[in-house]
Amino acid sequence: MSEVFSVYSKYTGSGILMILFFVSIIYVGLKDKNRSNVSMLFFGSIALVLLIMVPFVHGFYVKHVDPTTYWRFWWTVPIAIGLSYVGALLFEKHRETGLILSLVVLILGGRFVYTTQWNFKPAENPYKLPQEVIEVADFLEEVEEEQVFAAVCPALLEDIRQYDEDIILAFGREQLDPSWHGYDEVISPFFEQMMSATPDFEALQISCMITDTEYIVFPAGLRYLNHPGEYGFTLLTNTGTYEIFHFEK
């Protein structure tokens, strides 16, 4: 049971929003005359919370599904809907008092996140992605008219597909967490080379041939174990942050 409460405490942060949510659904259960609202917000929320807090459900999910993502079950609880609905009802009856109370709750219950502690950075472009990711993706699109079959270093995995779906990656961000995947005879050695500080182009040649990968992207400044040209790789450009190679069978 302690593990279930640990998940709950990590998800709820300071706890102020969950306290307000439970107060809100109790208010709905006692005061709201609309049966649909009572069914969804009161009975539905209680049923979901009880189900999530059952140790057997937690244990089964952790053992058979994923040990790291159980907290996402709290997304199914209509917290935002409940708070918004009850907040709107209170504002309708007590507008000035409700506004002041809401501001006090937000200030005391929240945290100022625009600090170096939370690593917030000004957006470099309209896509809110690192500019070097945009530069790499745009370059690949320029040299290849249709879909681009590529493998990229771990630093690019999470962002590049958000920007361009025509870039087909040999592997995705599932490789970043061992719990998301098992060992694959083809992909795992490929990924190991892409994250290596001294990539072996002989091994990369084999991986690219098996997966039909035509482009690979490494951080600039790596020491390569052997010469890329000896194994069919040509350096196309250095963006300053990344080096893009083309592989020709």
Predicted confidence (pLDDT) per residue in 86-142, tens digit: 888 888 877 787 778 777 777 776 677 676 566 677 788 888 888 999 999 999 989
pLDDT for the residue 117? 65
* Mean pLDDT rounded to a whole number for the chain: 86
Residue 226 confidence (pLDDT) above 80: yes
Domain positions in the chain are 2-118, 131-247
Give the single-character DSSP code of 78.
-
Residue 194, CA distances (Å) to 16, 67, 224 in order: 44, 26, 11
In this predicted structure, what is the pLDDT of residue 44? 92
Q: What is the pLDDT of residues 186-205, one digit of tens each?
A: 898 999 999 999 999 999 99
In whole angstroms, what is the distance from residue 66 CA to residue 60 CA? 9
Per-residue confidence (pLDDT) for residue 68, from 0 to 100:
78
Contact 29, 39 (CB under 8 A): no
Q: What is the CA radius of gyration of the chain?
A: 25
Instruction: Quote the pLDDT of residue 102.
Output: 74
pLDDT of residue 181: 62
The sign of the CA dihedral 86, 90, 96, 98 is negative
Token pair, residue 31, equals 């005061």
pLDDT attached to residue 152? 94
241 falls in which pLDDT band (50, 70, 90)?
Answer: very high
pLDDT of 10 above 60:
yes
Query: How large a percentage of the chain has pLDDT more than 90?
Result: 36
Helix (H, G, I), strand (E, B) or coil at 54: coil
pLDDT value at residue 243: 96
Q: How much is the pLDDT for 149? A: 94
Confidence bin at 176 (pLDDT 50/70/90): confident
Most confident of 160-164, 169-173, 239-243: 239-243
Beta strands in the chain (DSSP E): 148-152, 167-169, 215-219, 233-238, 242-247
What is the number of other CB atoms lying within 10 angstroms of the CB of residue 136?
Answer: 27
In this prediction, residues 74-88 reach a mean pLDDT of 88
